[in-house]
Chains A and B, each alone.
Chain A
Amino acid sequence: MALLDLHPRVHATKVIERCELAQGVTLLTLHAPQLASAVRPGQFVMAIPPSGESAATALAVYDISGKHASILFFVTGKRTSELAGLAPGARLDVVGALGNGFDCAGNQRDVAIVAGGVGIASVWLCAKALLARGARVRLFYGARTAELLVEAQRFADVGCELILTTDDGTRGERGFVTDALRRAAPPEAIFACGPSPMLRCVGQIANELEIPAQLSLEETFGCGVGGCWGCVVALTARSDRAPNFPPAQRGGSDVVYARVCKDGPVFLADELRW
């Protein structure tokens, strides 16, 4: 029926492979030719729950290869457990690709990618794009424990230098990934994705070193497409990223809220107001 036609940016994908990378960490490879051809590094999709019983989930597009796109996620609640239960052959509709993504077109030769936990899912395509441009890429990757440092070898195999940290010292240096970043020789630019406290710290380091940093933020999403203003982050009034608000009249404040889903999820460290 015409009323039920798929819209061009709602993709009916099929699960090709499901892989449990670690306890509670799932990698789903999807047959998704249109999505795979359209996505840019750092963009995400809204995965429509097959049961229809909850809101869609925001997930980064981890990797693409030919007609396949994959998502990598932690099982944290109802929606991600439903997705983790999808067996090969199952259909999964996704909306996307969404968001601005990382800008990998700069001419920095020496970059740091900083990933915390599941933030690794947002930076693989970014790493590949930067390597393809000939940049030196150092991956600072931190997790709670060794087992959760998923996919690290993959980054090394394509030429990233790895600096690994774990909170409990079971692999790499003990401590936070930001401590390792602080100790390292300063890169020319930083690309980061991870929990908010980590991103805030990466932002501080970047601001101190006066190097540009692109941070991919996480907020609770409603619509994921810019319609509900539920996912906002505070920016300084200097930022031009928050559209459609009278600059002189922000309620007497120099803060303005921008949507993480539509105006981001990637923001520059110096426009954020933590």
Chain B
Amino acid sequence: MTPSLATRLGKLELAYPTLMGSGCYGSGEEFAPFADLSKIGGIVLKSVTRLPRLGNPTPRLVHTPAGMLNAIGLQNPGIEWYLERELHKYKDRPCKIVGSVAGFSIDDYAYVCERLAARDEIEAVELNVSCPNVAREGETFGCDPDLTERVVAAARATTDKPLIVKLSPNVTDITAVARQAERAGADALAVVNTVRGMAIDVESWRPRLGNITGGLSGPAIRPIAVLAVYEVAQAVNIPIVGQGGIENLSDALEFFLAGATAISIGTANFTDPRIPQRIAGELQAYLARRNLGSISEIVGRANVGISTAYQYEGDEG
């Protein structure tokens, strides 16, 4: 029997456990000539805000060891234009489409979420309370458990569609934010967004990003993301979309074992647009090899229960 790759995030059913990360896959249209969209679970669209945003000055990207820094700054045409001119394009995509909402006040989030969620073209909404590339406010929400709870509650009140809340790794205790997002009615959590970072050109002594700082993504952040998923999975009962540097089967498995019900692939698409399909194929073969019927059988099964020979005082050094 072929193992099933289907998974679900609350009411959102996915034929494949692979979402394409917000801001990395455009509308799907851009990647359609190079990848088979019917072989991925879904696309999280680029985050949209209430008003149009020009985005950050250039350069917006820097390649770094095992990853990249980006500071796009939420360039988008604003929700009205988006609904009028863009959203119809997503109607016939052969995979699930998840809208992504960013904002600068609780009102903004609720407004954009309501407008977006009213449309049939999207099946779920992700709240980006964790963008590191807009002057403070955007990420402040995701860094404060109480504010996160208020934003999620306000968004929750506007829609019955599945609500995914995307958490920031740039916090001391991600589980506190996770718990309050769950309490406020999130159906699932996306763990994690990019890690704040910076690069400086040693010839000109200038920051290499126009925005000075940016968000680090790619394999460089994978251990940070795996830990975040592991910790959040202990803290909440809602499903988790694991993300951060996933490039191949083994990376994906780490996230499932840590407690993710689905995974999201962002930067790896910039290496090879076939990676999501390859991971799905290899995942199926992996499950078959181990006589497992579905990925639910590996979610959260990291074997951390075996005690070591002696008790550590701490977990480092």
* A interface residue numbers (CB < 8 A to B): 1, 3-10, 48-49, 52-56, 77-79, 93, 95, 219-234, 244-246, 249-251, 253, 255-257, 262
Contacts and interface: CB of A to CB of B under 8 A. Distances in A.
Name the prevailing secondary structure of the B interface residues.
loop
B97 to A, nearest CB: 14
5 contacts: A7-B35, A48-B272, A225-B273, A234-B58, A250-B52
A96 to B, nearest CB: 9
A6 B274 CA distance: 8
Interface stretch (B21-29, B109-117, B160-168): B21-29
Interface residues of B, number: 49
Interface of B: 23-27, 30-31, 33-36, 39, 46, 51-55, 58-63, 66, 68, 70, 72, 75, 77-78, 80-81, 85-86, 247-248, 267, 269-274, 277-278, 280-281, 284
A53 to B, nearest CB: 8
A232 B70 CA distance: 12
A233 B248 CA distance: 32
Query: Nearest 9 pairs between A and B by C-beta?
Result: A227-B26, A3-B281, A230-B61, A226-B30, A227-B30, A55-B270, A246-B81, A251-B54, A220-B61
B108 to A, nearest CB: 15
Name the prevailing secondary structure of the A interface residues.
loop
Contacts of B33: 7-9, 225
Contacts of A54: 63, 66, 271
Contacts of B66: 53-54
Contact of B267 (A8, A53, A55, A245): A55
Contact of A231 (B61, B63, B272): B61
A223 B30 contact: yes
Contact of B77 (A219, A222, A246, A262): A246
A234 B56 CA distance: 11
Contacts of A55: 63, 68, 267, 270-271
B59 to A, nearest CB: 6
B271 A52 contact: yes
Contacts of B70: 222, 228, 230
Contacts of B59: 219-220
